[in-house]
Copies of this chain bind each other. A is one copy, B any other.
Amino acid sequence: MTRSELFAQIKAKSSYLCVGLDTDIQKIPPSLRNEPDPIFAFNRAIIEATQAYAVAYKPNLAFYEALGPKGWESLQKTLEIIPKECFTIADAKRGDIGNTSGLYARAFFDKSASGLDFDSVTVAPYMGEDSVKPFLAFPGKWVILLALTSNVGSSDFQRLEVVKNAEVPHARALFEQVLMTSQNWGSHDQLMYVVGATRADQLQRIRELAPEHFLLVPGVGAQGGSLEEVSRYGMNRQCGLLVNSSRAIIYASSGADFAERAADEARKVQQEMAGYLETYL
């Protein structure tokens, strides 16, 4: 999917909501447990209920891997029923040396090899350029590189100040260096960033360093970030935001009305987003 196709969808739906498919077999309604593939049945109901309000879906790979080969089958089937206009994200946080990353890219982008054909994959930056480039070699596909995550552990390394060399006048945080260095690897038509920032000053600083890129923002919803702040300080001329919500939508109810309640929650977020698109775009 191209950047302009993504933006067109955002305008059409007045939404930049990404629904995270963190589907946990232990949390889905008991009524689905007798389905031949309960994970897929849950995802299908969630996707049908929310597709009018969401522009992207993000399966979290861990939830599928934890179920072994049948989890990968549920993932395949799920990906096939996501409407073609929606942007799909394999939240896999992969990253390895070049030839190995090339195989991970095939795992998520090459349907003839793995059965999967995502639009994008999340990638960890620690191993550097050659761990990211093989994903960027797939035309029409995207890398969403971890820059700043929203968890407590993000302060262990991501926020450390780094000194690139003696000529750098003052230190910057590692995640800022990731934002800067990685822009040499690919354009903003194939590279996005995971940015778990919800504070105005953080978002402004990130937009200084990456004005044009799409940002995938987790941590709004169950994790408690402010959608208003993210939208005001993170939006750019082509929206430039995908804001993820997982649990707050997909587990809005644990009963038989889970899909209906998911739709309600997704609609609420979409309506709030419609207002921000009016105001800040």
* A157 in the interface (beta carbon within 8 A): yes
**Residues on B with beta carbons closer than 8 Å to the beta carbon of A98:** 151, 153
Interface residues of A in 101-128 (CB under 8 A from B): 101, 103-104, 106-107, 110, 113-116, 124-128
Q: Which residues of B contact A113 (CB under 8 A)?
A: 66-68
Task: Please tell me if the beta carbons of B76 and A107 are within 8 angstroms of each other in the complex.
Answer: no
Give Cα A100 to B162, complex, Å. 28
- A-side interface residues, number (CB < 8 Å): 63
Given contacts A124-B126, A163-B162, contact A65 B107 (CB under 8 A): yes
Between A68, A124, A163, A164, the greatest number of chain B beta carbons within 10 A of the residue's beta carbon is seen for A68
CA distance A152 to B160 in the complex (A): 22
Among candidates B128, B155, B156, residue contacting A153 with C-beta atoms closer than 8 Å:
B128
Return chain B residues, CB-CB under 8 Å to A151.
Answer: 97-98, 127-128, 130-131
Q: Which residue of B lies closest to A98 (CB)?
A: B151
Q: Which residues of B contact A154 (CB under 8 A)?
A: 127-128
| Cross-chain contact of A152 among B24, B60, B125, B130 (Cβ < 8 A) | B130
What 4 A-B pairs have minimum CB-CB distances, sorted nearest first?
A128-B153, A128-B156, A62-B103, A65-B107
What residues of chain A have their CB less than 8 Å away from a CB belonging to chain B?
A: 22, 24, 60, 62-63, 65-73, 76, 91, 93-98, 100-101, 103-104, 106-107, 110, 113-116, 124-132, 146, 149-158, 160-164, 171, 174, 177-178, 181
